[in-house]
Amino acid sequence: MMIAGLEMNSETETFLRDMLKAQRSPYTLEMLRAFIMGTILAPEVVMPSHLMDEILPSEESVEDPEDAALPFESASQAERFFKALMLLWNELTIHQSPNRPFFFSPVPDEARDGEEFIDCVMRRHTEMGAFLEGLELGGYEVTTSVPELEYRGPEDSDLLIEHLTLPQILSLATFSLDESFDQLESYIAAKKKAEEDNQAVSPVNSEFDFGELWGAMRLGERGFNRRYPAFVEQVKRERFIQMATRKALDGDDDDVAMPLVRTEPKLGRNDPCFCGSGKKFKKCCLQ
């Protein structure tokens, strides 16, 4: 597809990737794809202007001015960025079909430890989190609470997948990865020191369980792939009901339901918790 002479190709992807970094966006291109996909599948329509506020936050929308995006160098640069963003959005809309599932960045099966594995885990974690943020922006309530199941570990992932919704699976997987990252940092430090001393380092020596980390990541991946078609169909049904309800109310002006308007900013998963604990919302009262 082409928009005003611009088409989605490797050159456009490189432009988007470079601009996100140059403008100090909190999203990489991979995270942006997942974030936009989440908004596409959310129950409420997310306007492009609202999307831009999240991708390139202004100084008014952040607590620390250092977290705000930098201004574009020119109007033509801003226009090209917006067109490229809309191209990416249009490209992702094909995944609204249960037969055209969305996929996160691939993780090689052979990457079971070392720097390549760590990079894959961190990238997958941020992509799953971005997808959930997109759902939240579109009005989907994401929670880490799950039904009480006899879950013993990664070997019972099929049990979780069958009983949880797609957002619950991703939320549980990202939460599990969050819990492992402190240990992961210790492992990285131990590995770096071992390399400096020309010694080998193992997960046992660094007190880090790679199997648990791998299991959490695979839970998110396998659960997402298996529950995606059902989730897409659920979204379609909910939107159909909303449209039918609005159409039925159109003929009765006295009983027409007014759209809900949020008067306060929505609390995101990575925002400070409202209880004042100082923790992120997803690690505190969201659980």
Q: Minimal CA–CA distance to 103: which of 111, 95, 114?
A: 95
pLDDT attached to residue 242 = 77
pLDDT exceeds 80 at position 187: no
pLDDT band at 189 (very low <50, low <70, confident <90, very high): confident
Rounded-to-integer distance, Cα 197 and Cα 210, Å:
22
Give the residue, 125 or 143, on which the prediction is more confident.
125
Pair of tokens at residue 16? 């988007």
pLDDT attached to residue 155 = 57
**222 with 156: CB under 8 angstroms?**
no
Least confident of 73-77, 92-96, 110-114, 272-276: 110-114
pLDDT attached to residue 281 = 64
pLDDT exceeds 80 at position 168: yes
pLDDT band at 259 (very low <50, low <70, confident <90, very high): very low
- When pLDDT is averaged across residues 231-247 and rounded to a whole number, the result is 83
pLDDT exceeds 90 at position 14: yes
pLDDT attached to residue 197 = 74
pLDDT exceeds 60 at position 266: no
